Amino acid sequence: MIGRYFINLAKKDMEQHIAQLPARDLAYFTEGAKHFDDYVEAVHWAQEYALFNRREMMRLIMEALRKPLPPFDITKEAINCHHNYVAIEEHFGEQVFLTRKGAISAYDGELGIIPGSMGAKSYIVRGMGNPESFCSCSHGAGRRMSRTAARRRFSKNDLEIQTQGVECRKDKDVIDEIPGAYKSIDEVMENQNDLVEVVHTLKQVVCVKG
């Protein structure tokens, strides 16, 4: 809702600067524009809202785990790792609005999570603070094909085979998330070994979708 609201305002704002945009979806606010500060404030409000949601989900998960498991204490820090967001940071001597699309923050010593797919490994990583990547790394394996292409190519039986040993949904509505629709997480990790170091390798046991 926030996005649609400000996109419409941006389209009206751009009409004052460019008579006809090549595509109306290219509308944007220049810094200093009438609604620019309101937009930035709304974006950060939404991201903080998402943070509170993640904290609440973690609280509920820990509460659920305490019931069947022997008593345990939480002794390690929680890893707050999100992607597809904008942050105000300093890079190459300048303050910039940095959008990490399909990427996560990987400052030196910062812990992150890089998931594979419903049937592949995932990784807990520690950032190396590589300035060439704006102190970032990939969010995950990344798609090999679109969701539509995955639904055309794979069947429910393919999904069951590729997620064998993982407790997860195996119905037709999640075929677009099938492991075969994603790149090799091992190859992705090898390609970014100058951005992060692996701390832990995780094997999926349970995968919750939706």
Which residues does the annotation place in the binding site for GMP? 83-84, 115-118, 122, 139-142, 209
Residues 176/116, Cβ–Cβ less than 8 Å = no
* Binding site listing: 83-84, 115-118, 122, 139-142, 209
* Binding site listing for Mn(2+): 83
Please tell me what DSSP assigns to residue 98. Answer: E
Residue with tokens 């037709």: 172
CA angle at 144 for the pair 197 and 181, rounded to the nearest 5°: 100
Handedness of CA 164, 151, 174, 52 (dihedral sign): positive
**Count of beta carbons in the 10 Å neighbourhood of residue 74:** 8
**Count of beta carbons in the 10 Å neighbourhood of residue 125:** 25
Active site residues: 139
How does DSSP assign 2-68, residue by residue? HHHHHHHHHHHHHTTT-SS-SSGGG--PPTTSTTHHHHHHHHHHHHHHHHHHHHHHHHHHHHHHHTT
- E strand intervals along the chain: 85-91, 94-100, 103-105, 111-114, 121-127, 136-138, 196-203
